[in-house]
Structure 1
Amino acid sequence: MAEFSTPTTEQEFDANFAQIKPLMSNTEALYESSRCLFCFDAPCIKACPSGIDIPQFIRQINTGNTTGAAKTIYEANYFGNACGKVCPTEVLCEGACVYNLNEQKPIEIGRLQSHATRKVIDSGKKLFGPGAPNGRKVAVVGAGPAGISAACELRALGYEVDVFEAKALPSGLTLYGVAPYKITNAETLAEMEYLESQFGYKVHYNQPISSRRELEALEESYDAIFLGIGLGRTNALLLPGEERANCIGAVEFIEQLRTEHHHVAVGKKVIVLGGGNTAMDAASESSRLGADSVILAYRRGKEEMGAYEFEYDLAKGVGVKGLFNVAPVEIVGNGKVEGVKFIRTAIQDGQVQIVPGSEFVEPCDMVIKATGQAKQTHFLQLIPGLQLDGKGRIVADARTGQTTNPKYFASGDALNGGAEVVNAAAEAKATARGIHEYLSNQL
Structure 2
Amino acid sequence: MGNSPRTPGLAAGRLPAETLAQNFADLHEPLDSHEAAVAADRCYFCHDAPCMEACPTSIDIPLFIRQIATDTPLAAARTILEQNILGGMCARVCPTETLCEEVCVRETAEGKPVEIGRLQRFATDAAMSHGPQPFSRAVPSGKSVAVVGAGPAGLACAHRLAMHGHDVVVYDAREKAGGLNEFGIASYKAVDGFAGREVDWLLGIGGIKVKTGQALGRDVDLDGLAAGHDAVFLGVGLGDVNTLGLAGEDLDGVGDAVDWIADLRQAGDMGSVSVGSNVVVIGGGMTAVDAAVQAKALGAGEVTLAYRRRQDQMKASGYEQELAATKGVRIVTEATPEAILGNGAIEAVEFSVTGSDERFRVTADQLLCAIGQKLVTVVGLDTEGGKIVVDDAGRTSREGVWAGGDCASGGDDLTVTAVAEGRDAAEDIHAVLTGVAG
CA contact (8 A) 2:148 2:172 kept: yes
- Identity rate, percent: 40
- Post-superposition offset of 1:217: 2.8
Structural mapping, 1:264-343, within 5 Å: 264-343=273-352
Alpha-carbon distance between aligned partners in 1 of 2:21 and 2:219, rounded to the nearest angstrom: 43
Moved more, 109-118 or 28-37: 28-37
Deviations 1:163-188 (A, max 9, x none): 11111221100111111121125211
- Post-superposition offset of 1:301: 2.1
- Post-superposition offset of 1:284: 1.0
Structural mapping, 1:425-440, within 5 Å: 425-440=419-434
Find the partner of 1:231 among 220, 223, 238: 238
- Post-superposition offset of 1:8: 4.3
What is the TM-score with the length of structure 2 in the denominator? 0.92
Structure 2: state its 5+ residue gaps. 1-12
CA contact (8 A) 2:43 2:65 kept: yes
Deviations 1:355-405 (A, max 9, x none): 23x23322111111111012112xx02xx3x1011x22101112x211111
Q: Provide the residue aligned with 2:403 in structure 1.
A: 410
- Post-superposition offset of 1:418: 5.6
Moved more, 75-84 or 104-113: 104-113
Moved more, 124-133 or 209-218: 209-218
CA contact (8 A) 1:225 1:407 kept: yes
Q: How has the CA–CA distance of structure 1 residues 204 and 332 changed in structure 2, closer, same or farther, with 3 Å as cutoff?
A: same
Q: Provide the residue aligned with 2:85 in structure 1.
A: 78
SS of the residue corresponding to residue 147 of structure 1 reads helix
CA contact (8 A) 1:8 1:263 kept: no
Q: Does 1:361 align with 2:361?
A: yes
Q: Provide the residue aligned with 1:58 in structure 2.
A: 65
Structural mapping, 1:9-408, within 5 Å: 9=17, 11-184=18-191, 186-211=193-218, 214-260=221-267, 261-345=270-354, 353=355, 355-356=356-357, 358-377=358-377, 380-381=378-379, 384=380, 386-389=381-384, 391-398=385-392, 400-408=393-401
Q: How has the CA–CA distance of structure 1 residues 252 and 212 changed in structure 2, closer, same or farther, with 3 Å as cutoff?
A: closer
- Post-superposition offset of 1:91: 1.1
Alpha-carbon distance between aligned partners in 1 of 2:274 and 2:136, rounded to the nearest angstrom: 44
- Post-superposition offset of 1:135: 1.1
CA contact (8 A) 1:329 1:342 kept: yes
CA contact (8 A) 1:6 1:288 kept: no
Structure 1: state its 5+ residue gaps. 346-352
Alpha-carbon distance between aligned partners in 2 of 1:262 and 1:47, rounded to the nearest angstrom: 40
- Post-superposition offset of 1:76: 0.6
What is the TM-score with the length of structure 1 in the denominator? 0.91
Aligned length: 422
CA contact (8 A) 2:289 2:321 kept: yes
- Post-superposition offset of 1:314: 0.5
Tell me which stretches of 4 or more aligned residues in structure 1 moved more than 4 Å: none
- Post-superposition offset of 1:162: 0.7
- Post-superposition offset of 1:79: 0.7
Deviations 1:264-314 (A, max 9, x none): 111101111111222111111111111111111122222222221111101
Alpha-carbon distance between aligned partners in 1 of 2:182 and 2:192, rounded to the nearest angstrom: 6
CA contact (8 A) 2:43 2:62 kept: yes
